[in-house]
């Protein structure tokens, strides 16, 4: 339609200003574009004869098809054969380890007199942009779970003291399905963080290949762009579940864009719907959060005919099975072996014997904490 296509947000602004009786020249000045371009989009808006309210309910993809209809392309049998291959190829690419290069070899084996690799890539990229123009990162099914804490806290009543305290809000999301888990925790200690991660895995009913935390002190002992040091207790938890830990790089929000976006949705869809000035115990706060989380996960995704819950059901088979037992929380402590061949643990005020050869040595003592688990894994 126009010589140079503009974004759909600009198109919406043009239509909005035009329906407010603003002239084409002023619209162009306000939006930083030529009067001629504004005129072309206004004329097209008038020609399609769709009310503004109905038009604004369309997704960017649907709106783009209206204002930038695809040019008719002469297609021969060989090109049609190539484009017919792409839908199945996009499904195969969701599998772990599958690449475009492998799909090219499969296409070539099925169609010996076929296009070369360069032409194959060119047409695939054109097809992909039309089918999913907003796609930036292609997440693999069962690949990653992203976790973070929301910046804003929520108040709750401590049932032991009657004090009003601030709960830390833990957010987790599966990369491919965007299925989310949200839980209010008493703090961000390593024990609480591990419990929240475990609750998320139990909620997702499976284990992805990797867990991507921010550089939280509970997860990362020493941050680094190349080899971050993971907290020993958290590493033991990851080993129990057979999941790799891939901390996001510092100041690289694109590494965890999914969970950052989910934090924003948590504010909009959960925080905003909780009763104001009503303080409840932590377990009741999590019940309220769980109710709104169900609505969030079951809502239809923009530009799709399915919800996060629907996509999770498709991703479920790609997740690894949960271990039979929960992780046993443990602590590490440096102790010195006394002359009587024992070490003393202050937490339980008990002495424990060690081989006499270790008298006078400093040891790293590991002990298990009796579980005090959260009961707030939201059942759907």
Question: What would the mean pLDDT of 315-328 be, rounded to a whole number?
Answer: 91
What pLDDT, on a 0 to 100 scale, did the predictor assign at position 182?
96
Per-residue model confidence as pLDDT tens digits over 208-236: 999 998 766 555 545 444 455 567 888 88
Per-residue model confidence as pLDDT tens digits over 34-86: 888 888 888 888 888 888 888 888 887 777 778 877 655 545 777 888 888 88
What pLDDT, on a 0 to 100 scale, did the predictor assign at position 319?
94
Question: What would the mean pLDDT of 5-26 be, rounded to a whole number?
Answer: 84
Gap between the Cα atoms of 111 and 88, Å rounded: 15
283 vs 138: which has the higher pLDDT: 283
What pLDDT, on a 0 to 100 scale, did the predictor assign at position 169?
95
Q: Which residue has the tokens 């619209």?
A: 27
Geometric angle at alpha carbon 285, from 280 and 286, rounded to 5°? 155
- SS3 state of residue 5: coil
pTM tops 0.75, yes or no: no
What are the extents of the domains in the chain? 8-67, 77-131, 144-318, 330-368
Asked whether the beta carbons of 12 and 45 are under 8 A apart, the reply is no
Per CATH, the number for 144-318 is 3.30.420.10
What DSSP assignment string belongs to 303-357? TSSSBHHHHHHHHGGGSBPPPSS----EEEEEEE--TTSEEEETTTTEEEE--GG
Per-residue model confidence as pLDDT tens digits over 22-46: 888 888 888 888 888 888 888 888 8
Asked whether the beta carbons of 183 and 376 are under 8 A apart, the reply is yes
Would you place residue 131 in the very low, low, confident or very high pLDDT band (cuts 50, 70, 90)? Answer: low
Strand partners, 336: 362
């Amino acid at each position: 339609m126009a010589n140079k296509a503009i974004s759909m947000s600009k198109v919406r602004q043009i239509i909005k200003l035009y329906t407010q009786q603003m002239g084409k020249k002023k619209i162009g000045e306000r939006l930083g574009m030529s009067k001629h371009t504004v005129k072309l989009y206004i004329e097209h808006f008038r020609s399609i004869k769709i009310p503004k309210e109905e038009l604004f309910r369309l997704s960017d993809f649907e709106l783009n098809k209206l204002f930038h209809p695809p040019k008719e392309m002469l297609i021969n049998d060989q090109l049609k054969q190539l484009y017919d291959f792409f839908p199945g190829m996009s499904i195969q690419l969701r599998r772990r380890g599958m690449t475009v290069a492998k799909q090219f070899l499969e296409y070539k084996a099925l169609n010996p007199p076929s296009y070369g690799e360069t032409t194959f890539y060119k047409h695939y990229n054109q097809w992909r942009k039309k089918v999913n123009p907003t796609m930036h990162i292609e997440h693999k099914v069962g690949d990653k779970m992203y976790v973070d804490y929301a910046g804003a806290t929520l108040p709750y009543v401590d049932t032991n003291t009657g004090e009003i305290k601030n709960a830390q809000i833990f957010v987790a999301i599966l990369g491919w399905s965007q299925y989310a888990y949200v839980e209010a925790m008493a703090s961000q200690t390593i024990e609480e963080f591990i419990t929240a991660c475990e609750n998320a895995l139990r909620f997702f009913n499976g284990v992805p290949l990797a867990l991507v935390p921010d550089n939280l002190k509970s997860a990362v002992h020493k941050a680094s762009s190349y080899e971050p040091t993971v907290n020993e207790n958290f590493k033991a938890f990851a080993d129990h579940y057979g999941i790799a830990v891939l901390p996001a790089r510092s100041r690289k929000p694109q590494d965890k864009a999914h969970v950052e976006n989910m934090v924003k949705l948590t504010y909009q869809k959960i925080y905003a719907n909780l009763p104001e000035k009503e303080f409840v115990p932590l377990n009741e706060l999590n019940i309220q959060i769980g109710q709104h989380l169900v609505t969030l996960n079951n809502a239809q995704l923009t530009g799709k005919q399915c919800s996060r819950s629907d996509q999770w059901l498709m991703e479920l088979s790609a997740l690894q099975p949960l271990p039979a037992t929960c992780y046993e929380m443990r602590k590490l402590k440096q102790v010195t072996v006394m002359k009587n061949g024992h070490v003393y643990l202050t937490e339980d005020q008990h002495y424990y014997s060690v081989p006499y050869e270790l008298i006078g040595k400093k040891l790293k003592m590991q002990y298990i904490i009796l579980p005090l688990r959260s009961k707030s894994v939201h059942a759907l």
